[in-house]
Amino acid sequence: PRSDIDIYRARTLRGRLAEIRNDHQQIMKQVESLLPQLTLLTTNNQKADDPQELAARKQIKPKPKYDPQTGKWVVMNWDGSIAGSTQPNDGRSFDSIGNNNNNETHA
């Protein structure tokens, strides 16, 4: 026997740990049994997606372009605005890199 360990406290803590483990197992069994019901509830409440929305989702997404003004990669939204920009049209170009029409970049 060691004098630095409280045997009675260790026994009490081990018993409490066993109780917690058993409670956890019971709760997990309840959760697992209720998950199929939850899945049915959530799938029944979802409406069928609109065909136009599905077509819009399946379209090819625009690739980000590097914006030298802000030093960030930006994406043009479907309405022509720039994602993350507060101004609707701030004169940024989204041409490909080979079609540079900025005279400032040609040094």
Q: What is the per-residue DSSP string for 28-79?
A: HHHHHHHHHHHHHHHHHHSPPPPHHHHHHHHSPPPPPEEETTTTEEE-B-TT
Give me the percent of the chain exceeding a pLDDT of 90: 28
- Would you say residue 89 has pLDDT above 80? no
Q: Give the model confidence (pLDDT) of 22-59 as tens digits.
A: 999 999 999 999 999 988 887 765 566 678 877 877 88
Put simply, whether the predicted model's pTM sits higher than 0.75 gets the answer no
